[in-house]
Amino acid sequence: MGISIRHGFFIIIGIAALFLTWPYAFEWMRAGGNILNAVDFFGDAINAGGTAAFLSLDMAVAWLVFMVWVVGDARRIGLGAKAGWGFVVLSWIGVSMAFPFYLVVRERHLDRQRQAG
């Protein structure tokens, strides 16, 4: 089966997202932020004003949609709700990493289903 170019792209983007975003999270935590408190995290970003507020709200909504969608989608395609919840947990590390990883797992699962029957 192998990894397609698209899957490789998704994996590279997911890994790059970790290295691009987490230095800022560590900086925020060193200043006293609690990464497990999403309200404070997004609240601090929104209070920074303009662009930060827009991007923070946009990402918060996208994250919420991802968390709701991924559980149902994983169950619907046969991966199971546990797998979906696993990606919800992974999204706390970063939805920009969890989402492309989920897409790879999802597509490979669907490919295996097509080949099996």
Domain ranges of the chain: 5-116
Is residue 13 very low, low, confident or very high in pLDDT (cuts 50, 70, 90)? Answer: very high
Query: Residue 69's closest CA among 84, 48, 90?
Result: 84
pLDDT tier, 1 (very low <50, low <70, confident <90, very high otherwise):
low
By three-state DSSP, how is residue 60 classified? helix
What digits encode the pLDDT tens for the residues 42-97?
888 888 888 888 898 999 999 999 999 999 999 999 999 999 999 999 999 999 99
